[in-house]
Amino acid sequence: MGVVSSIGIGKDEFWNNLIKGKSGVDKVNLFDTSKFKRHYAGQIKNFNPAPFINPEIVEFLGRASQFSISAAKLALDDANIKEKEIKGKEVPVIIGTTMAEANSLDISSGRILRDKFDNITKRLLLDAFPASIPRNIGYFFGTKGVNFLIPNACSAGNYAISYGFDLVKRGRYDLVIVGGSEALSRVAFQGFQRLYAMAQRMCRPFDKNRKGMILGEGSGILVLESLDKALDRSAFVYAEVLGYGLSSDAYHMTIPKKEGIKKSIEKALKNSRLSIADIDYISAHGTGTVQNDKAESAAIKEAFGKRYREIPVNSIKSMLGHCMGAASAMEAINCCMAIKEGIIPPTINYKEPDPECDIDCVPNKARKVNVKTALNNGFAFGGNNCCVVFGKTA
């Protein structure tokens, strides 16, 4: 696993700061926010791609691609896979995103507005294509397999993991690189403000006085492979992907539907051959918006019945902000680390309980829990829901 985030680069720094409850939310300096009504996000400050990407290549890569290539390199190193071992091989790259390289669109549109058409470079034009992120990963590592982008917005990371899982389970590939990547951009920042979905300074999932989401950025990449092959090469296995569940509400463009969320949870359990008694931990979508947290809490209560208060349900978006297409991939890494370490990170900024969100949200302090099975929730605008189940290797 590899991660690039506002609270750390690499899974260890990321994890250590998660369990400390460290916030990566700060004032944005990536672009001028003076004309916006909001000014804070989970921006990755002073990101330096040099340890991962040759300087002469960096200038040809958008910010989201820089994040994802760096996270992929960390993931391959963590999997003890040398780059030369996958070069020229059939290794699929499947990446989820919401806005792709929207920074490149920001720059291009700004130059168009200033009539500087000749300053729109070939790189900016190529980056404008949504599939530039997996394309750049495949190009960087020289892989020849399926190259696929899943633009299912805020559940896209989970969709990428699920598709990779299918490819491995069906025996089509032994090794797949999956995950999500997202970079902050003016268009996303302004877009979520115009939807009145963004809080002023902090994200407070499940709190009665929550005011909305905070945007974030980053990348989470996982190396999936068949268990037999992983064990044959003595790889360390963090967790097994047991199954997933999908649903599509077709209910409202921005408002989640309890029934759709419940359906995706139930499908994930059924496809993983598990019962409600088997889930030890839920990594919530937990955006901090009034409607999402209310609907997600209600769906959990209905799906798990009397058990719902027994299951810890946290939201690491309280620390990272909402990293959109990268969110559920980064939360998947959180699930795997929780299984490995037996610790659940907190939901920070929690002050006042909400009777409509009366779940155990692990408020403000990490908790030791023997996590054998974790459910990772990912939901997106338009009702694109995807839940993935991770289990401890027997």
Q: Give the DSSP letter string of 275-297.
A: -GGG--EEE----S-HHHHHHHH
Assess whether pLDDT exceeds 80 at residue 284.
yes
Nearest to 65 by CA among 140, 121, 166: 140
Query: What's the confidence (pLDDT) of residue 224?
Result: 97
Q: Is 250 left (phi over 0), alpha (psi -120 to 50) or beta?
A: left
C-alpha pair distances (Å), 238 with each of 12, 164, 307, 339, 377: 13, 16, 26, 7, 19
Sequence letter at residue 308:
Y
The model's pLDDT over 229-248, given as tens digits with 9 standing for 90+, comes to 999 999 999 999 999 999 99
CA atoms of 97 and 327, how far apart (whole Å): 9
pLDDT band, very low/low/confident/very high, at 288 (cuts 50, 70, 90): very high
Q: Is 285 one of the annotated active-site residues of the chain?
A: yes
Q: How many CA atoms lie within 13 A of 184 on its CB side?
A: 28
Q: What is the mean pLDDT of the chain?
A: 92
114 pLDDT more than 90:
no
Which pLDDT score is estimated for 121?
66
45-54, 57-66, 177-186, 337-346, range with the lowest pLDDT: 57-66
Active-site residue, from 285, 323, 357, 361: 285
Please write the tens of the pLDDT for every residue from 308-327: 999 999 999 999 999 999 99
Confidence category of residue 367, pLDDT binned at 50, 70, 90: very high
Residue 27 CA to residue 38 CA, distance in Å, equals: 9
Q: Give pLDDT, residue 120.
A: 59
Annotated active-site residue 154? The verdict is: yes
Query: What is the secondary structure of 205-268 as a DSSP string?
Result: TTBTT---B-BB-EEEEEEEE-HHHHHHTT-----EEEEEEEEE--S-SSS--HHHHHHHHHHH
Structural Rg of the chain based on CA atoms: 20
Give the residue-averaged pLDDT of 164-192: 93
CB count within 10 Å of CB 306 equals 8
User: Is residue 13 pLDDT above 70, yes or no?
Assistant: yes
pLDDT at residue 386 tops 60: yes
Domains annotated for the chain, with CATH where assigned, are 2-232 (3.40.47.10), 240-391 (3.40.47.10)
Q: 217 — phi, psi (to 5°)?
A: -150, 165
Rounded (5°) CA angle 291-100-88: 130
Structure tokens that stand for 97 in this block: 């995103």
Catalytic: which of 322, 336, 357, 386? 322
Q: Say if residue 172's pLDDT is above 70.
A: yes
Whether pLDDT at 261 is above 90? yes
Length of the chain: 394
CA separation for the pair 233, 356 (Å, rounded) = 48
